[in-house]
Amino acid sequence: MLIVGGGIAGIVAALRASEHGWTVTLVERQPVLGGLLASVRPAGGKHSFDFGTHIPAATGDDELDALLFGGMRDEEWRVFPVLHAGTFWNGRLSPDSACLDLRTLPPTDYAAVLTEMLDETVVPAVGFETLADQLTAVYGPRLLATVFEPVLRKFYGLGSAELAPDAHRLFGLVRFLCLDPETARKVKRNPVLDGKVGLHDFRETVLGAPTHLARYPRAGGVGRWIDHLARKLADAGVNVRLGVGLSRLDAERGVATTTAEETLEFDQLGWSLPPSQLLRLLPHSAAASWPSPRLATATLYHFLTESEPLPLSLYVTCYDPAFRLFRVTLYRNLQPDVGGPARITVELISTEANSPRPSPEEIFDELRRMNVMAEEAQFLRCFTQELGPAFPLQTPALHAANRHAAECVAVDFPQAFLLGRAAGNGFFMRDVLLDVCRTVARVPGPSAIARPGTVMRRIETMIAALRSRPARPGSIHSH
């Protein structure tokens, strides 16, 4: 089996497939595995930074969790029974809750929003054409107008009528603080309201169930997790090819050629990149007219500072449209035992391709104004990193194109299967990994499959053998 893309989706697919008895080759374009879960040490320094906030958490699937976390040494990993997240919105820092606090709205808006929010009517989970339809039905028009629209414009550069259902989930905009803590706990006994009303303190969330523990290395970055999984790939005998992509694909013969001109044979192909890239490589007739999705790009600002961050949150998401930054990761709180300057990664999302990026000074000033850093705090150094395209804008057209791509692949290239974030079946790591396991489990076992190339090669060998035989007198040959 050949797996393309060595992000977490490709790594887990390779490990699962080798557990199912496949001989697996994994191809990754970068010189290291991990995709968005790699870590960097800028300028060859000793300080490690991640590509944003990535704190691996157990999925609740025992087999998968054993594969992901089995064999980790306790002294190397910090375990979090619950993730301490904070938010900044409406000019206020809430260091202990990942939910927006609607009580900070002007009183008339708050009253109207609350009445609509606390409507207990059960709304169907599917069947909406746009996000605007979905949010109006679930939360009511006032919350849509006063809260969702400005935040969606900040992150996507689009309004809810231009976005696909569920696009708000990518940014965790699901539950809100709208009552006092005691009343919220009571109201949440109602399953409909439980889906909309948040708890006021991160310590009350259910991540603390033993199966949902999150982990982060005591030193270094999340890339250590990838190193741990890379050792498992080696133990499983997976052939990992780094620094190469595919330049040609002969689906009929089951042969792929890498950009290093190496030939790789396969009977099944796992594809964790956007499906349009697979269609182009085949090439498939649908590829020519494929719409190019609008992409959001991400820029990272990695700061070193002698000042300590003010909140104790592991990360803070900034929903406030008056601020440019998206999320702040506070490594001091993730790794309190690591000395030296405090490390901070700020993620910035841009939807305008050529919009000028704010300077590190402007971003650090936002941290001061958010009360994440003290007013007098300064940074020692900042390393900026362009992540490039981070995710496609979640429009109905994108979802339709992804569905169409999946159909084209299923019909015209049945020995391929789509994996990961790019397959469109999930965005967050947990959803992506559970989907990867389901997908790999559906692939028939290696013994049940005749290699697509095998039959062709057998026929070619027979033809070559026939051709090399001396011609019998009187027989006719066509060339």
Ligand X SMILES: Cc1cc2nc3c(=O)[nH]c(=O)nc-3n(C[C@H](O)[C@H](O)[C@H](O)COP(=O)(O)OP(=O)(O)OC[C@H]3O[C@@H](n4cnc5c(N)ncnc54)[C@H](O)[C@@H]3O)c2cc1C
> Max Cα separation, the chain?
101
Candidates 29-37, 204-212, 338-346, 469-477; binding stretch for ligand X (CB under 6 A)? 29-37
Candidates 1-9, 128-136, 197-205, 299-307; binding stretch for ligand X (CB under 6 A)? 1-9
Query: Which residues pair with residue 383 across a beta bridge?
Result: 302
113 binds ligand X (CB under 6 A): no
Q: Which of 102, 163, 255, 273 binds ligand X (CB under 6 A)?
A: 273
Query: 19-36 as b/e, with b when 16 or more CB fall inside 10 Å?
Result: eeebebbbbbbeebbbbb
424 binds ligand X (CB under 6 A): no
Q: How far is the CB of 329 from ligand X (least distance, A)?
A: 10
In the complex with ligand X, the residue whose CB is nearer, 135 or 432, is: 432
How far apart are alpha carbons 352 and 183 in whole angstroms? 42
Q: Are the C-beta atoms of 176 and 196 separated by less than 8 Å? A: yes
Rounded to 10 degrees, what is the CA torsion of 21, 240, 34, 278?
A: -80
Q: How far is the CB of 399 from ligand X (least distance, A)?
A: 17
Q: Which of 390, 434, 449, 456 binds ligand X (CB under 6 A)?
A: 390
Q: Which of 2, 16, 28, 314 binds ligand X (CB under 6 A)?
A: 28
Q: How far is the CB of 88 from ligand X (least distance, A)?
A: 16
Q: Which of 35, 140, 165, 254 binds ligand X (CB under 6 A)?
A: 35
In the complex with ligand X, the residue whose CB is nearer, 59 or 415, is: 59
Q: Are strands 25-28 and 2-4 parallel, antiparallel or unpaired?
A: parallel
Candidates 124-132, 248-256, 418-426, 451-459; binding stretch for ligand X (CB under 6 A)? 418-426
Q: Are the C-beta atoms of 35 and 11 separated by less than 8 Å? A: no
The tokens for 479 are 């060339």
Q: Which of 1, 2, 3, 4 binds ligand X (CB under 6 A)?
A: 4
How far apart are alpha carbons 326 and 172 in whole angstroms? 12
Q: What is the DSSP string of 436-455?
A: HHHHHHHSPPGGG---HHHH
Residue in 175, 199, 203 with CA at minimum distance from that of residue 185: 199
Name the closest residue to ligand X (Cβ).
7
Restricting to residues 283-302, name those near ligand X by CB under 6 A: 298
For residue 167, report the phi and psi dihedrals to the nearest 5 degrees.
-60, -25
Could you list the beta-strand ranges (E) of 68-182: 77-80, 85-89, 92-94, 100-101, 176-177
Candidates 59-67, 79-87, 330-338, 415-423; binding stretch for ligand X (CB under 6 A)? 415-423
438 binds ligand X (CB under 6 A): no
264 binds ligand X (CB under 6 A): no
In the complex with ligand X, the residue whose CB is nearer, 81 or 181, is: 81
Binding site for ligand X (CB under 6 A): 4-10, 27-30, 35-37, 52-53, 245, 272-273, 298, 347, 390-391, 420-422, 427-429, 432
